[in-house]
Structure formats: C-alpha cells, structure tokens
C-alpha cells in the first residue's frame, strides 16, 4: 500500500514540511496578538469563530460559561493554537469557581484537547471533560424511544453521589442513564416531557450493592458518521496554517476509500476503539489519526510526527462533508 501514500502526500502535504517549525513546549501565554480558530457546539448548534486576540478568546470562554449555566452542553476544539500533541489521558474538573474553570479550559486548549462542559444547577457546579481523541464504542447502532427523566445518580463502585442525572424512560421497567465520553451527564435546563428517540450503545454497570443499572452511551463516533465524501478545508502544522489544494477523501460504508473523486487509488479505512481513523491514503503515523471532532458536517483529525532529528510536529486537518 505504500505507493498510495505519494499521491495524497503531494496533494495534501505539499507544503507541510516547508511550513513546519521545530516543536516548542506548550505553555500558557498572555499575548493579545495570538489568534485561534475555535470549532464549538452549544446544545445542538454548531459554529466556528476565528479570534484575533486573547481578549476575544476570554470573551468566548465567558460565553461558554454563561451558556452552560443556562443548561446547554458546550463542546469546543481549537484549531492551530496548540503546538504539542495531547496526552491520551482524559482530564476532568469539577468546580464552582468560574475563573478556575476558565483557566482549566485554557490549559486543555493549549494541550490540544477537545473540551466539553456542563453545569449542575442544583449544586452550582461546573463539570468539564477534555480528551485527545473521541472515545469510540464499537457495535451496532441502536435507537430507543422514551421520555427524559431526572433521577438520582446510581451508587456505583466509585462511591455515592447525590447528583441528579438524565435518563431515558423506555417503559415501566427500563431506565437508561445517559452517558457521553465516559462521563455521566447531569440534569440542567428544561428537560421537557416530550417523547424523544436517542441512539447509542446500552451498557450494564455494576452498583456497589451488587445490583446493576443500564446506561445509554450517546458519544459514539461510529463508522456511519464518518462515511461520506469529505473535502479538506484547513491544514495546520505546529500551529501554522498551511496552504491546501482541492482534496477530497471519500470513505464508503464497505470500508474502502478513494482520493479526490477517483477510484484508481483505492484503499481501506477503519475506526479503532481508541478514537483513531486509519487509512493508507492518509500519510504519517501509519495512516492513523486521532479524531478530535466529528459531526454531521465537520471532521477534525490530528497526528504527531517525529522526524529523524527527534523534532515533533503536530498536524491538524479539518474536513467538510460534501452532500452529493
């Protein structure tokens, strides 16, 4: 498959090594001239903003805090600002201090992680989770219809919690506690009493008394979400934006892939349970890239490259899904 690397490398990364500088340690800086492009979702609304300086970044973080206090789930990822690859370990925070939360969000952004924040109005507590790659649960998609209820968090092996969490009531005997990215969601805002259908994977978790309860994992980055024709829109190396050509990556539901609308360079692709997209048509890191963002319209992937001089480079690529 190595002959497949060259066409994509020429189109995709023709200026990559020219534009890359040597890796510098990531650190929190206070420079009002630093710019960043932030991909974010607030509830069901997805957006993207290019910020010219740290003052605008500070204002956006304040808006994220405000939106979460209003019951919205906030998720964001920063393109191009960070210059180091994120550690694989998931990072979390629980705090009632707004400034502490903002400082933590800045640190996670600089570390190149995707950040998700919710707010528990009952306790006045912010809960944050940051990860380097989207957690992936393999298996068939299942959809369940019911009504959302706020219930007390089950007592599991991690101890007792009085937090109120949302759960999907399917029938009198079945209640599914909602989970995202390995983190149990919290009640917030108007849950409503309308019938709703949610899709994900049902898992059984053990309680401290020996009984079990069911969770519905909604944060599944599945093959079905990745299938489609994707156009490369942005490319960064160590925080510097690179020029990109008209590049298209077509990923089909039978596990094959082609480049730039042609079937002459056919390869396979797969999605690992560690949140990586692997395809021979994507060079570097054996063609396996972390998935930092995946929605119906946007996919962001990243990988670390260590050169012969032991210099580390971080590549980030943003794709837009093309509707045929």
141 pLDDT more than 80: no
Give the best-scoring range by mean pLDDT among 103-107, 132-136, 274-278, 292-296.
103-107
Q: ∠83-298-324 over CA atoms, to 5°?
A: 145
Going by their DSSP bridges, the two strands 228-237 and 288-294 should be labelled as unpaired
- Which pTM does this prediction carry? 0.68
CA distance 171 to 149: 12
Q: For residue 16, what pLDDT band results from cuts at 50, 70 and 90?
A: very low
Tens of pLDDT, residues 65-108: 999 999 898 999 998 666 566 666 778 899 999 999 999 999 99
238 pLDDT more than 50: yes
User: String of b and e for 11-24 (b: at least 16 CB within 10 Å)?
Assistant: bbbeebeebbeebe
* Average pLDDT of the segment spanning 37-52: 90
pLDDT at 161: 56
CA distance 102 to 79: 18
Tens of pLDDT, residues 143-164: 788 899 988 887 654 444 567 8
6 pLDDT more than 70: no
Q: Is 5 helix (H, G, I), strand (E, B) or coil?
A: helix
Q: For residue 243, which phi and psi values (nearest 5 degrees)?
A: -75, 140
pLDDT at 73: 86
130 pLDDT more than 70: yes
pLDDT at 261: 64
Percent of the chain with pLDDT over 70: 75
CA distance 166 to 147: 10
Tens of pLDDT, residues 249-268: 999 988 899 888 666 678 89
* Average pLDDT of the segment spanning 16-22: 43
pLDDT at 299: 92
57 pLDDT more than 90: yes
pLDDT at 104: 96
Q: For residue 261, which phi and psi values (nearest 5 degrees)?
A: 75, 10
Going by their DSSP bridges, the two strands 212-217 and 174-180 should be labelled as parallel
Q: Give me the chain's average pLDDT, please.
A: 78
DSSP 21-37: -----------TT--EE
pLDDT at 230: 94
């Amino acid at each position: 498959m190595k002959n497949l690397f060259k066409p994509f490398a020429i189109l995709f990364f023709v200026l990559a090594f020219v534009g890359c500088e040597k890796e510098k340690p990531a650190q929190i800086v206070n420079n009002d001239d630093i710019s960043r492009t932030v991909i974010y979702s607030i509830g069901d609304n997805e957006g993207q903003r290019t910020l010219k300086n740290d003052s605008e970044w500070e204002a956006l973080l304040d808006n994220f805090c405000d939106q979460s206090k209003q019951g919205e789930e906030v998720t964001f990822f920063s393109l191009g600002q960070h210059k180091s690859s994120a550690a694989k370990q998931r990072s979390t925070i629980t705090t009632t201090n707004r400034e502490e939360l903002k400082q933590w969000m800045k640190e996670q952004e600089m570390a190149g992680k995707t950040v998700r924040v919710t707010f528990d109005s009952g306790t006045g507590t912010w809960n944050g989770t940051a990860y380097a790659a989207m957690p992936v649960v393999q298996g068939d998609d299942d959809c369940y219809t019911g009504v959302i209820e706020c219930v007390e968090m089950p007592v599991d092996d991690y101890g007792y919690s009085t937090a109120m969490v949302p759960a999907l009531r399917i029938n009198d005997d079945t209640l599914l506690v909602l989970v995202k990215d390995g983190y149990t969601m919290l009640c917030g805002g108007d849950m409503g009493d309308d019938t709703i259908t949610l899709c994900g994977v049902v898992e059984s978790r053990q309680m401290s008394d020996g009984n079990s309860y069911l969770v519905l994992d909604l944060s599944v980055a599945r093959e079905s979400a990745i299938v489609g024709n994707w156009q490369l829109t942005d490319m960064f190396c160590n925080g510097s934006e690179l020029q990109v050509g008209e590049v298209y990556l077509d990923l089909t539901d039978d596990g094959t892939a082609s480049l730039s609308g042609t079937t002459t360079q056919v390869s396979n692709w797969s999605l690992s349970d560690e949140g990586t997209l692997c395809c021979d048509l994507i060079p570097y890191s054996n063609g396996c890239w972390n998935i930092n963002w995946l929605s119906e319209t946007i996919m962001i992937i990243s990988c670390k490259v260590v050169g012969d001089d032991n210099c580390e480079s971080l590549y980030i690529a943003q794709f837009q899904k093309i509707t045929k």
